[in-house]
Amino acid sequence: MRYVVPLMISIVIFVLLLDIISFKYLDKTSENLNKMLTAVQQNIEKGHWEEAKKNIEKAEKEWKKIDKKWAILIEHREIDEIEINMEKLKSYVETKNKDLSMAQLKAIKMLIRHIPQNEKPILENIL
């Protein structure tokens, strides 16, 4: 019986720490990715398609670095969704379609921003 209370406390602390660390990681990486996508957005707005393509490749590289770690923390369905939308964006940029690429870009940004929000331990998420 002597180990029950310490075990309980250590499990709670472990969950708390894991939550804080994973939330911070998701928040930081998603912000990073969002910044890269904002650069792409500016390129598209100005009609610099070649720049936009390069920036998308950069963002994709960054995404490849983090997606495996994200897979440990969030639902895989969400990761798949981001990947599908990324591919769509790439082809829209290649065909230089401004309207569609802007719409696609905003959708990806929303998806990425939405993920750390979803992991926040607030009442709305708990219920």
Partner 1 sequence: MLILFFRTLILYALVVIFMRISGKQQIGQLQPYELVVAIMIADLVAIPMQNKGIPLLSGIIPVLTLLVSQLFLSYLSMKSLRARAIICGTPTILVENGKILTSQLQKERYNINDLLEELRVKGYPNIADVEYAILETNGSLSVIPKSNKRPVTPQDLNLTPQYEGLPLPIIIDGRIMHQNMQKAGIDMEWLNEQLKMWKIQNVKEVLFASLDTNKVLTVYRKEG
Cβ-based nearer residue to partner 1, 67 or 119: 119
Q: Does 22 bind partner 1 (CB under 8 A)?
A: yes
Q: Binding to partner 1 (CB under 8 A): which residues in 52-81?
A: 75
> Where does this chain touch partner 1 (CB under 8 A) — which range of 29-37, 85-93, 104-112, 113-121?
113-121
What are the structure tokens assigned to 58, written together? 């950069």
What are the structure tokens assigned to 120, written together? 């926040």
- Site of interaction with partner 1 (CB under 8 A): 15-16, 18-19, 22, 75, 118-119, 121, 125-127
